[in-house]
Structure 1
Amino acid sequence: VGFLPSPVRAWFESSVSEWNLPSSVILEKQKEDWVEKFDMEKAKYATLCPLQGIVIPKLFGELGYGNARALLLSDISGACLATPEGALLEIADFRRMLRKVLTDLPQFKVLQEDIKLDNFHPIGDKIMILE
């Protein structure tokens, strides 16, 4: 599917979405009394739609889980920068990758507010952001 031209791929993914789910997904459940934060996060995913799967996880949608709402997100894998496995980068590569990801967000008038190392995951030659 990834090799199809963009318009054909978009049509295919919207028509047969169950074929396009990855083998591993993340279910981010709304915490009690965090309705506003959950709604804000969902709105951020909508605003950052062009960056989904590139800079941030892809949002597949909202669903009910137990008595709460939840977001179904792609699993980006990789170790976070807060762990030894995730911190094995050359300084120059780290700076380049971090600068790239932190300049992509403001283009959409969004800032990364939670700058903890465990929200940043090096994946190949880029860093992806959680939260």
Structure 2
Amino acid sequence: MRDCDSIPSRSSSRLSTDSYHSNYSSSLLVKFRLGWSTVSAIGNQNDSYHPNVLRLSIIRSSFDHSVIALFRRLPLVIQSLVKSVFPSYFLPSRIVIKKLKPGWSDEFKNEKIHNTRALILSEVNGVEACNQEFPCLEPSEFQRRIEEAFAELTKFGLAYGDIKLDNFLLVGDRVVIVDLESVWEDTPDEIEYANETHIEHLISMYERHLDGMSNDA
């Protein structure tokens, strides 16, 4: 997945999970099929409120690293062909696995983990727009970064509809959009209208959030 950039990898996989302890902070050893490869990873649940979300580090052997180095030297066209057969070698070192929750079947059509459909995503390290520390990003700068993020999705003919501040992460000097299950394809005019409406709504929420933080302080 690219972060905003955040497009889920397509994988039909069966996963075995061994938990060393029962609480969410304990280590999990995970194995799953991705393409023609078996991927091993270790990590834990994201938190106690989202037991269906696992944050994992992929375990790779010296042979795996050699193969990855070889693939990266290939022309991009050949890399694309190899990726369609062996996608596991193109995964980042850190991934997030999001398993199906009841009532969300439309968002999880192809992926399975431990007999449960799931998405394999890349991990994004950032700060949620609603969880900043002072001094917070100015609304005008937040809007500029949001507009850039939406513009990236627009290049692919996509609109985004899950308008919550915690879905917009501050990463360096940009905003990264996560939770892309609500992305859809549309016409340029409809995407432009959706973007304008959603950006206006986001900025309104952001300004209310900043006002609330100021009052609490």
- TM-score class, shorter-chain normalisation, is 0.5 to 0.7
Correspondence for 1:10 among 46, 67, 79: 79
Counterpart for residue 189 of structure 2 = none
- Of 102-111 and 8-17, deviating more is 8-17
Q: Distance in 1 between matches of 2:146 and 2:161?
A: 15
Gaps of at least 5 residues in structure 1 are: 40-61
Structure 2: gaps of 5 or more residues: 1-68, 180-217
**Cα-Cα RMSD:** 3.2
Q: Distance in 1 between matches of 2:137 and 2:78?
A: 34
Find the counterpart in structure 2 of residue 122 from structure 1. 170
Cα displacement (A) at 1:69 = 0.8
Bigger mean CA deviation after superposition, 76-85 or 106-115: 106-115
Give the alignment partner of residue 131 of structure 2, picking from 58, 76, 83. Answer: 83
* Structure 1 match to 2:101: 31
Alpha-carbon distance, 1:88 to partner? 3.2
The structure that is strand-richer by fraction is 2
Partner of residue 50, structure 1: none
**What SS does the aligned partner of 1:121 have?**
strand
TM-score, normalization by structure 1: 0.62
Higher relative contact order (CA 8 A, sep 6+): 1
* Alignment of structure 1 residues 61-76 onto 2, 5 Å: 63-76=111-124
CA distance 1:5–1:125, shift in 2 (3 Å): farther
